[in-house]
Structure 1
Amino acid sequence: MNIAQLSDMAILRMIGDFIKKKRMDLNKTQDELSTEAGISRSTLSLLERGEKVNLITLIQVLRVLDELQLLEVFEVRQQIRPLDYIKLQKKYERQRVRHSDMAAEDPIPPLEW
């Protein structure tokens, strides 16, 4: 199935069907799941029918169904470009510091006992 060809309403119905199937697989009633998710039963019913609900509602239900991993595709991972990585490495490389005025001074005399 090419999801890009589906209408928004078809995608909402698909999400609703997924939520309903997962709820039933866990052998939970709408009352039980909605209570655990902190939403009303009518809101859960709307979600399962593919009606419009708040995004936070979907997150709450997915959390109770232990399906939050589905949202990992939205994580933005910062990647460093190879040239920037090399620059960072050079910045933090340990460098030997030698002051020109210290090189001209006599070494510290030994302590006398």
Structure 2
Amino acid sequence: MAILRELGSSLRRVRLNRNQSQQAVADAAGIERATLSQIEHGRPTSLLTFVQLLRTLEQLDALDALVTRAEISPLAIARLAKKQRRNASLSSPTPPPASTEW
């Protein structure tokens, strides 16, 4: 609950620093003003609502630390490079198609 209170307080500070009312932010986020007030006071909310608020307050990048990006290790890159073809293979010449006309 302490974390929720801290997150709510942080959202409130961001909103006030942007000089926006609860009603304006709630309308932009598509939620009720009472819901925003409860979140700012540390009440539980859905992740979707929290993300909507972050997006509205232009703070969505705060979640970047939680997103992991798939990275290819240097060993995997070396293995892939080793498997790539470097030369064309010799193929036996194909005979021309047999003609039925003389």
> For this structure pair, what is the TM-score category when the shorter chain's length is used for normalisation?
0.7 to 0.9
Query: Tell me, what secondary structure is at the counterpart of 2:24?
Result: helix
Structure 2: any 5+ residue segments left out of the alignment?
A: 94-102
1:30 pairs, out of 3, 22, 29, with 22
Q: Who is 1:94 aligned against?
A: 86
State the number of aligned residues. Answer: 93
Shift in Å at residue 93 of structure 1?
A: 4.1
| Alignment of 1:19 onto 2:11 | yes
Larger RCO (alpha carbons 8 Å, 6+ apart)? 2
Q: CA RMSD in A?
A: 1.4
Shift in Å at residue 88 of structure 1?
A: 0.8
Greater mean alpha carbon deviation, residues 19-28 or residues 77-86: 77-86
Query: Tell me, what secondary structure is at the counterpart of 1:77?
Result: coil
| Alignment of 1:57 onto 2:49 | yes
- TM-score calculated relative to the size of structure 2: 0.83
Shift in Å at residue 79 of structure 1?
A: 1.9
Query: Tell me, what secondary structure is at the counterpart of 2:79?
Result: helix
Q: Show CA shifts across 1:10-66 (max 9, x none).
A: 111110111000111111111111000000011101110011011111100100100
- Percent identity, aligned pairs only, is 37
Structure 1: any 5+ residue segments left out of the alignment?
A: 1-8, 103-113
The one-letter code matched in structure 2 to 1:96 is A
C-alpha separation between the residues in 2 aligned to 1:31 and 1:19?
A: 14
- Flag the structure with higher helix content: 1
